[in-house]
Chains A and B, each alone.
Chain A
Amino acid sequence: MSSTTGQLTDIEGLSATTLLRFATAGSVDDGKSTLVGRLLHDSKSVLTDQLEAVERVSASRGQDAPDLALLTDGLRAEREQGITIDVAYRYFATARRRFILADTPGHVQYTRNMVTGASTAELTVILVDARNGVVEQTRRHAAIAALLRVPHVVLAVNKMDLVEYEESVFAGIAAEFTTYAKELGVPEITAIPISALAGDNVVEPSAHMDWYAGPTVLEHLETVPVSHDLATCHARFPVQVVIRPQTAEHPDYRGYAGQIAAGTFRVGEEVKVLPSGRSSKIAGIDLLGEKVDVAWTPQSVTLLLEDDIDISRGDLIVPAHDAPATSQDIEATVCHVADQPLTVGQRVLLKHTTRTVKAIVKEIPSRLTLDDLSQHAEPGQLVANDIGRVKVRTAEPLALDAYADSRRTGSFLLIDPADGTTLAAGMSGEAFAQGEEPAPSTPDEEGWDF
């Protein structure tokens, strides 16, 4: 076959498009399933046999309308209990974009799932019920989006049909949420008044809200910029594997394969290798078999250097003029994701980019309640779904960026060396973008209620 992208663009609706990863947070009560169902259904991503299966099961349970949550609740335990217990990934496309949706349950005991979904998202849709406005759960979702540095947040004020499509109701909720989210450092907030059930402003513009001139949810998803201004990013390249064919055809080829974690790299650029600190210059960039002069995140490439220096998996290649400091002492915010607790003094493995090192949890200075951002000093341990500050000492120096500057190179996992369990997801540096007044420390009562 000799097809090319150029020929494919001739097929209507199948031209090359960009990819947007986004997350939704909310509960069934907020109409999240209805919103997700409508996005999938109206983009023709729910196919006949899937819909028939949903209708059959819904009818057998005595429900009048098809329960679209059944599309995503894939595990037997979920269907039996009528709850979503895990992140469900959904895929749909329009003529302009391909979407990967991480659909996460909104309840506090699923914080780890929301954090997981937000970790790769470039946009989060937070749902509120127009009748209830901003509630505890809304603040928690905003805090998670801020903590995970999701670049774009959409506030979908749902059930506008139940408040007579009243502009003042929407404006009040949007203003309250925007103020709160801005304080947390959320860089961009778009508030949209919708009715997922009636279809207002989800895919089609509403006929009931002339006062709203902004985009529908889908229009916004299709047009929001998917990459940042890479020129201002710190370029980072974690080495995954060294490629050495040692064949007659390529006797001396030695390339460093990896995925560009941030920024851009160019042929001729002076680079430094961490942690050794040795310097060289980029002699060539192989983009999966094609020679290129420049490459950028998140491309997977192979870098060739001018000098034959010792580089192996776990090393970080960075611009010579923009190298991060290396350190064995890490301060970070973590979300605890395991059922077993994380305790002071615990020996763990820390996985950062392609490097895994031994580490010890030196301190857990505080635990954070996301609903009101109150801090609880010296909790001693973190349990599942807790967010807390930790101080970790590593056996070897690591080149960690602040998570605020680089999501890929500022994040890490803590792993139990005994059984390999992923214990916690860490974000280096300050928890929130703007240094607000720290909330007064309150005594730790019973912990979270779950």
Chain B
Amino acid sequence: MTTVASVAGETDSPYALSHLDALESEAVHIFREVAGEFERPVILFSGGKDSIVMLHLALKAFRPAAIPFSLLHVDTGHNFPEVIEYRDRVVAEHGLRLHVASVQDYIDRGVLKERPDGTRNPLQTVPLTEKIASEKFDAVFGGGRRDEEKARAKERVFSLRDEFSQWDPRRQRPELWNLYNGRHAPGEHVRVFPLSNWTELDVWQYIAREGIALPEIYFAHEREVFQRSGMWLTAGEWGGPKENEPVVTRLVRYRTVGDMSCTGAVDSDAVTLEQVITEIAASRLTERGATRADDKLSEAAMEDRKREGYF
């Protein structure tokens, strides 16, 4: 068995699992619990690496049957074209059903207003929660990890949301052993985080082990960028650069994938998965600290967005 051979460490029994096998097994267990206990689960799929890993795990969990979930993409309208191509390719390849909640749609209808800074991440909450309500989704898988951010560190694997999708940290149920309590009232739903216990490095190591394809923007490439708040942003229709923001061509890659207006690239020459993993292992910044403007707003920015129904 490869799982045995791959585990070093003279003190471990032959029945020890590698950390990736243990995390994979836990995530698969979570997917199957949801399949067993919910009526209409959906996977939030952004085309980012965490949602790609989620989908990969879901496919493995139900093989050789199809996954009993559809996908939901909250489209900010400021997408990386490579990511949208990837999304559509995966949906076609696995014969999945894709729902899209469009931020642009809400702006066009005058329901949401563009923010002065052009950032659309905070605008995703309303389209997301309304889509959950209108489609009557009762379980919504998110790729959030507890190592990402300190409000997420207190998040449960099964996280109860009220009918307004709000998160109340004091109403969260204690989670013991691997017994998840998914009971909810009509109109409420449960956000489920199968990657809760994964770190950024685990995700990358797993992508490498499983040979999972990713959108090209995760690897170093030459790109026209400009600097804002210490981050390299891609020029585009969404509103950059301003006059005093010169555009330069740099060798960069993305550590996270989100709305173009607030997701920064990092300088990198890592073109293979091995190089990316080595780079992350040596990095002294968290992926959100390095690349997300929306988390720099305040000490409790993530907690506030989560309370309102964000991912």
Contact = CB atoms under 8 A, between A and B. Distances in A.
B64 interface: yes
A425 B16 CA distance: 28
Contacts of A79: 299
B174 A116 contact: yes
A445 B255 CA distance: 58
Interface in A389-422: 407-408, 411-413, 415, 419-422
Interface of A: 1-5, 7-9, 11, 13-19, 47-50, 53, 57, 71-77, 79, 86-91, 93, 96-98, 100, 112-113, 115-116, 119-120, 223-230, 240-241, 243-247, 249-250, 253, 257-259, 264, 286, 288-289, 292, 296-300, 313, 337, 349, 351, 353-354, 407-408, 411-413, 415, 419-422, 425
A19 B205 CA distance: 14
Contacts of B23: 19
A259 B33 CA distance: 10
Contacts of B285: 47-49
Nearest to A224: B11
Nearest to A420: B183
Interface residues of B, number: 83
A292 B21 CA distance: 15
B100 interface: no
Interface of B: 1-2, 6-9, 11-13, 15-26, 28-29, 32-33, 35-36, 60-66, 146-147, 149-154, 160, 169-170, 172-179, 181, 183-185, 196-197, 199, 201-202, 205, 207-209, 211-213, 273-274, 277-278, 281, 283-286, 289-290, 299-300, 303
A288 B25 CA distance: 9
Given A120-B178, A313-B36, A422-B174, A288 B15 contact: no
Given A5-B6, A116-B174, A299-B21, A89 B15 contact: no
Nearest to B13: A227
B174 A337 contact: yes
Contact of B290 (A5, A49, A292): A49
Contacts of B61: 257, 288, 300
Nearest to B173: A422
A57 to B, nearest CB: 7
B7 A18 contact: yes
Contacts of A88: 153-154
A1 B213 contact: yes
Contacts of B6: 5, 9, 16
B211 A86 contact: no
Given A1-B213, A408-B178, A420 B8 contact: no
B64 A240 contact: no
A298 B177 contact: no
A349 B37 CA distance: 15
A87 B25 CA distance: 23
Contacts of A313: 36
Contacts of B181: 351, 413, 415, 420, 422
Contacts of B152: 74
A379 B22 CA distance: 41
A72 B33 CA distance: 29
B173 A421 contact: yes
Contacts of B160: 420
A349 B179 CA distance: 13
Nearest to A296: B15
Contacts of A422: 173-174, 181
B150 A241 contact: no
Contacts of B299: 53, 57, 76, 79
Given A47-B286, A87-B154, A98-B199, 12 more contacts: A8-B274, A11-B278, A16-B20, A17-B7, A47-B284, A47-B285, A48-B289, A86-B172, A119-B177, A240-B32, A240-B35, A289-B60
Given A5-B2, A113-B174, A413-B179, A245 B65 contact: yes
Contact of A91 (B11, B26, B147, B207): B147
Nearest to A90: B153
Nearest to B171: A421
A72 B154 CA distance: 9
Contacts of A96: 8-9
Contacts of A297: 15
Given A245-B65, A286-B63, A298-B25, A11 B274 contact: yes
Contact of A3 (B150, B176, B211): B211
A415 B173 CA distance: 10
A288 B300 contact: no
A89 B145 CA distance: 11
Given A1-B212, A115-B176, A298 B274 contact: no
Contact of B201 (A93, A113, A119): A93
Contacts of A244: 65
20 contacts: A1-B207, A7-B274, A8-B274, A47-B284, A76-B303, A86-B172, A91-B199, A98-B19, A113-B174, A119-B176, A120-B177, A226-B12, A240-B32, A243-B64, A246-B65, A289-B60, A298-B29, A300-B28, A408-B177, A411-B176
A19 B19 CA distance: 5
For the complex of A and B, the 8 pairs showing the least CB-CB separation, nearest first, are A420-B183, A49-B289, A74-B150, A245-B65, A98-B19, A300-B28, A19-B19, A240-B32
B202 to A, nearest CB: 7
Contacts of B16: 18, 226-227
A230 B13 contact: yes
Contact of B12 (A91, A227, A412): A227
Nearest to B25: A300
B184 A98 contact: no
A221 to B, nearest CB: 12
Given A75-B154, A91-B199, A250 B13 contact: no
Contact of B281 (A7, A14, A98, A353): A14
A411 B28 contact: no
A72 B153 contact: yes
A75 B172 CA distance: 13
A3 B274 contact: yes
Contact of A13 (B147, B173, B273, B281): B281
Contact of A229 (B13, B22, B36, B205): B13
